[in-house]
Amino acid sequence: MAIIAPSMLSANFLRLEEEIEMINKSEADWFHLDVMDGRFVPNITFGMPIIAQMKKKASKTFDVHLMIVEPERYVEDFAKAGADILTVHYEASTHLHRTIQMIKANGMKAGVALNPHTPVSVLTDIIGDLDLVLVMSVNPGFGGQKFIEQTLHKVRSLKRMIAENEAKTLIEIDGGVTLDNAHTLIKDGADALVAGNTVFGAPDPTDMIKRLKAVTK
């Protein structure tokens, strides 16, 4: 059964405490938190202060996805804010291995995200050091985009790479995840699914999370 990580970017921020409590009580596994800086992607979201406040109410893993330039500058700050998993973009990290080691040194699990145009082969020499690879199945920056079908090929290739290196790396999919493609993604090798509009746009978000869990058994 897949790890389900509702993306809080799609939550109603006027009712944020209620949305957090809903996730706490649901079958969801993680909170997915998208941090955007308006430079790496054309959007700005929230940062450490908001995450620190959310952490006071949340009872599940904080899966923080940094869509920012120079992520290494903020690793310690996000650890203090409450991140349990910290994912940085391959495309934004000049010294990726150093950044991964810094994340782990600060007590977090380390992830690397890949944009749709980036092949999984760039991670060959570092896959054994990663707790998670986040495959972007839409272009990063905005929610509600259509799923890019090429993602399925990337997931299968990445799964083979992980097996060949005897790594324990999880594969997470972010973007366009729905009830229609969730089962296929898990069958092809994904372990965790980020769902934003699919969850928070549903009439009953709690039930939608339950249904996502059920189709990925």
Question: Looking at residue 85, which CATH number applies to its domain?
Answer: 3.20.20.70
Burial of 15 (0-12, 13-18, 19+ CB in 10 A): exposed
- The predicted structure's pLDDT at residue 144: 64
User: What percentage of residues in the chain have a pLDDT greater than 70?
Assistant: 99
Which residue is catalytic, options 34, 37, 131, 188?
34
Residue that is written with structure tokens 């990290």 in the block: 93
For residue 54, what are the domain limits?
3-215
Catalytic residue check, 125: no
Residue 100 is which amino acid?
Answer: I
CA distance 145 to 142: 7
Confidence of residue 199 (pLDDT cuts 50, 70, 90): very high
Which residue is catalytic, options 29, 63, 174, 188?
174
- The predicted structure's pLDDT at residue 206: 98
CA distance 25 to 207: 11
The yes-or-no verdict on residue 142 having pLDDT over 70 is no
Phi, psi of 107 (to 5 degrees): 85, 15
Average pLDDT over residues 56-80: 98
CA distance 72 to 214: 37
Query: What are the tokens at 84?
Result: 């349990």
The yes-or-no verdict on residue 217 having pLDDT over 90 is no
Number of domains in the chain: 1
| Sheet with 61-67, side-by-side order of all strands | 3-6, 192-195, 170-174, 132-136, 109-114, 85-89, 61-67, 30-36
CA distance 122 to 212: 31
Question: Rounded to an integer, what is the distance from CA 199 to the centroid of its chain?
Answer: 15
User: What percentage of residues in the chain have a pLDDT greater than 90?
Assistant: 95
What global pTM score does this model have?
0.97
How does pLDDT run across 21-47, given as a tens digit for each residue?
999 999 999 999 999 999 999 999 999
Catalytic residue check, 37: no
